[in-house]
Amino acid sequence: MAEKSTEYNLLTAWVKLSGILKNNRITKGLLYNEATVMLLLYSCYTEDGVGLISIKEIIAQTGMLKSLVNRTINSLEKKGLLVRQAGEKDKRTLYVRCVEEKLDVFLQVHASSLGVAKGILDIIGPEDAETFIRIVEKLDKAGYKL
């Protein structure tokens, strides 16, 4: 029997990982795209206390289509988790920021997601976790899109 190629094994591992993540729903409580946008906003918020980010930046950082980002922002706005804001210098640039009073809603989802990440860390250990993080960052930096 012929040995399987590295490409074949990589593809198989990718499919398995996708299944594991799908079955464990790392974003319980929010839709995946909502949690993705809120994580960006929260990261900005923890850096500067404001968390203001442009829609263009969200598109660039998530790789989501503009229409999907707009739908996601509409949904989060209806839930009261974020607000839109025109830019100070350029009124045509639209920004969003998280609503501080509603951050606890996101933080509950975030805590659940961190619990899933901790479970994975317990299984694979810190060294493999760091390797995985480096690999994902390398793919992201290369701009690899399927």
Residue 39 has φ and ψ, to the nearest 5°, of: -65, -40
CA pair distance 65, 92, nearest whole angstrom: 19
Decide: residue 139, CB within 10 A, 0-12 exposed, 13-18 middle, 19+ buried.
exposed
pLDDT band of residue 86 (cuts 50, 70, 90) is: confident
pLDDT confidence of residue 144 = 66
Q: Reduce the DSSP state of residue 25 to 3 states and report it.
A: coil
26-141 folds as Arc Repressor Mutant, subunit A (1.10.10)
Name the least confident of 11-20, 45-54, 98-107, 117-126: 11-20
Distance CA 13, CA 51 (A): 36
Through-space distance between the first and last CA atoms of the chain, rounded to whole angstroms: 31
pLDDT tens, residue by residue, 116-136: 889 889 999 999 999 999 988
For 46-61, what is each residue's pLDDT tens digit? 998 888 999 999 999 8
Mean predicted confidence (pLDDT) in 5-26: 78
